[in-house]
Structure 1
Amino acid sequence: MSTLARARCTIGAHPSALDTAIAAAVLVCMVAGSFVDPHGPEGVSWGLRTPDALSLALMAVGAAALVFRRRAPLAVLAVTGGVSVVEGVTGDPRAPVVMSAVIALYTVAASTDRPTAWRVGLLTMTVLTGAAMLAGPLPWYAQENLAVFAWTGIGATAGDAVRSRRAFVQAIRDRAEKAERTREEEARRRVAEERLRIARDLHDVVAHHIALVNVQAGVAAHVMDKRPDQAKEALAHVREASRSALGELRATVGLLRQSGDPKAPTEPAPGLERLGELVATFHHAGLHVEVARTDQGTELPTAVDLAVYRIIQEALTNVQKHAGTRAKAEVSIVRVGPNIEVTVLDDGADGGDAPAGSPAAAAGTDGGGHGLLGMRERVTAVRGTLTTGPRYGGGFRVHAILPVRNRTDAAEGPV
């Protein structure tokens, strides 16, 4: 911290001491000025006149009042203005008692709003100048009377300028603080969004692949003794599902690495181009899935493509977990105008721990999962809509409508 900054901090911490020093300096200037005669034989002359007792008393009162100028600026202005009027009417009009009124007027202008400053300034200028011109011993056009008008105007103008500068500096500080808070809030919001996105990805990956591993492991255990070839095939599917799960987990967890950590995987996020692989994993697990698509040639934004893939993955996983492998599922992907509609249906065949149309099935667990919540979050993130519920006659329906273009793509032009 520089010497000037330290001095400002010290002065700001002791305002009363500063006001006392200013009052003493003003008193010294007024007393010294009262010995100066601007109209001497050789121009400005020192010691050709001396102030009387009344002038000295009025100077002392005016200077003493300045000690309280911060606590009661209007009252101090009234006191200093009163002693200035008394000096201008009854005493030596050249005695600089009005200097205390100028300092008090400056304080009022610097500590109040602009309308108040100008009203008080005009009133002070009118009263002091009018009293000197109309009731003073000098002619109304005397230089001393015009000096009173000029100095009071300067005091009011200087105070208003200081107040404006303080307000400007404070406004800059407020904007800087607000901008800093906005940046911090935006950073926290982005972190929360990324955390939710990663949580959804982890849930989708684990729920899908672990469900497949569970089914295939159960098949292998069931046929191990009687049909070892089928058990070996089931174990191969378990190995493939676990390998896929590890790959996707590695890619997702890689996003959590810091900048100095080893390079994270750069495998692209899954999308509809991998829909065949996804359906094949369910076929291997024994779930019959039919796919109907009329979206050929549609290029989806990355976020929408990932959302469609994860919605289908989660919906089929719920079918397998809660409706069983005897259930049949239908997946349709249709381009309708500016949107793409994804529908996953199942017939509700009983074979799991919960009916396909129950809330537990919709959630992806026995009432405590996050499957349905994750799907809704994904759809909301790309400004789409999601409808889920039981079908008439049994089964469950998941229907999502997603925009083909997001904000960035819409700005660049048609897909």
Structure 2
Amino acid sequence: MNSSLERYTERVEQYASRFPRFPRFVDVTMVLALIGCAFFGTQLSLPGESRPDTGKSLEILLGLSCFVLLKYRTHTRTVVVVVAGVTIAAIARGYLLTPILLAPLLAAMYWLAVLCDRRTVRLYALVATVALLTVNLFSDGMRDLSPVLTVIGPVFWMALPLVGGSLARLRRDYLEAVKSRAEHAERTREEEARLRVTEERMRIARELHDVVAHHLALANAQAGTAAHLSRSNPEQSRQILDDLTGTTSSALRELKATLGLLRQDDRPKGEGLEPAPGLARLPE
């Protein structure tokens, strides 16, 4: 029974999702269908029994109570109280308790189970069911039926929308939880990627610092030695200066390679890269 109810609620939600811009259209269609069910339910009676003579006032009241269902999203509890009160009044006046007559109340209980917390659902469902059974046991329309049938039928009918609404709420909560986990995973993945990029840049910065510091220290030592030997040993000083040129060239090459890694991005190769501006672009 649970699987069939779950499939039924899924079909209802899929049908309603086809009209995301016209929620009132779906609500009004539902209300008109419930008015038809309530009116048809007032025409039913047991074999050999006549319908209660209550005029048209109670039937009109049943129809008006269906329009209250248009506010089920914002005033769910009030809708249940109003619809349950009118339905119980109709049964007390002698109308036969059938699922068709209970259709507005069953719809109100379904939305109560979907939109409200479990404690509220249990409280309202218990009060409505007990009041319905109490009135039904003493109703003239059910006097020829056994008390077992008088009790089991209404309890079963009231349980159906509660189970269906609970399944719909659980499914909605599950989908929201899945969506939240997906969004959290996406945010975590982006944060992790940014953290990895930051760590990689820090590693490159440390390597760049080591490279520049090493070559600058070597160049400084070579320059100092060349200055010291420039008078006493010019030939050796010239050789040291030649080595100094190689040291600075090597430092520049490694510095360029390291900075090239930092300048890489997701654009196609060569796009957005241009030589450093020279004096010719000074007016710009």
Structure 2 counterpart of 1:99: 103
Structure 2 counterpart of 1:127: 131
Structure 2 counterpart of 1:54: 57
User: Contact conserved, 1:27 with 1:59, CA < 8 A, in 2?
Assistant: yes
| Cα distance in structure 1, aligned partners of 2:119 and 2:88 | 24
2:85 is aligned, of 82, 91, 95, to 82
Over residues 362-391 of structure 1, what are the superposed CA-to-partner deviations in whole Å (9 max), with x where a residue is unaligned?
xxxxxxxxxxxxxxxxxxxxxxxxxxxxxx
Are 1:30 and 2:41 matched, yes or no? no
Alignment of 1:208-227 (within 5 A): 208-221=214-227, 223-224=229-230, 227=233
Over residues 128-177 of structure 1, what are the superposed CA-to-partner deviations in whole Å (9 max), with x where a residue is unaligned?
12211134442263656643222111111111111111001100100111
Tell me which amino acid in the other structure corresponds to 1:26.
L
Structure 1 residues not aligned, in runs of 5+: 41-47, 263-415
> RMSD in angstroms over aligned alpha carbons?
3.3
Structure 2 residues not aligned, in runs of 5+: 1-11, 271-284
**Cα distance change, pair 63–144 in 1 and its aligned pair in 2 (3 A):** farther
**Cα distance change, pair 229–39 in 1 and its aligned pair in 2 (3 A):** farther
| Cα distance in structure 2, aligned partners of 1:115 and 1:141 | 32
User: Contact conserved, 2:113 with 2:169, CA < 8 A, in 1?
Assistant: yes
| Cα distance in structure 1, aligned partners of 2:237 and 2:38 | 110
Greater relative contact order (CA < 8 Å, ≥ 6 in sequence): 2
1:11 match: secondary structure? coil
1:141 is aligned, of 135, 143, 146, to 146
Alignment of 1:330-369 (within 5 A): none
Structure 2 counterpart of 1:18: 26
| Cα distance in structure 2, aligned partners of 1:94 and 1:7 | 29
User: Contact conserved, 2:45 with 2:96, CA < 8 A, in 1?
Assistant: no
Tell me which amino acid in the other structure corresponds to 2:70.
V
* Identical columns (%): 32
Tell me which amino acid in the other structure corresponds to 2:96.
P
Moved more, 53-62 or 134-143: 134-143
| Cα distance in structure 1, aligned partners of 2:74 and 2:265 | 56
| Cα distance in structure 1, aligned partners of 2:35 and 2:199 | 66
- Cα deviation for residue 113 of structure 1 reads 1.8
| Cα distance in structure 2, aligned partners of 1:152 and 1:236 | 98
Structure 2 counterpart of 1:115: 119
- Cα deviation for residue 224 of structure 1 reads 3.6
- Cα deviation for residue 13 of structure 1 reads 4.0
Structure 1 counterpart of 2:243: 237
| Cα distance in structure 2, aligned partners of 1:145 and 1:9 | 37
**Cα distance change, pair 136–65 in 1 and its aligned pair in 2 (3 A):** farther
Moved more, 9-18 or 69-78: 9-18
Give the structure with the higher percent helix. Answer: 2
Give the structure with the higher percent strand. Answer: 1
| Cα distance in structure 2, aligned partners of 1:84 and 1:187 | 60
Tell me which amino acid in the other structure corresponds to 1:131.
V
Tell me which amino acid in the other structure corresponds to 2:75.
A
Tell me which amino acid in the other structure corresponds to 1:60.
G
Alignment of 1:133-172 (within 5 A): 133-139=137-143, 141=146, 143=149, 146-172=152-178
Tell me which amino acid in the other structure corresponds to 2:80.
L
User: Contact conserved, 1:55 with 1:91, CA < 8 A, in 2?
Assistant: no
1:71 match: secondary structure? coil
Moved more, 148-157 or 30-39: 30-39
2:64 match: secondary structure? helix
Alignment of 1:264-283 (within 5 A): none
When the two structures are aligned, how many residues end up with a matched partner? Answer: 252
Structure 2 counterpart of 1:69: 72
| Cα distance in structure 1, aligned partners of 2:269 and 2:237 | 41
**Cα distance change, pair 163–226 in 1 and its aligned pair in 2 (3 A):** same
With the length of structure 1 as denominator, give the TM-score of the two structures. 0.53
- Cα deviation for residue 253 of structure 1 reads 4.4
2:142 match: secondary structure? coil
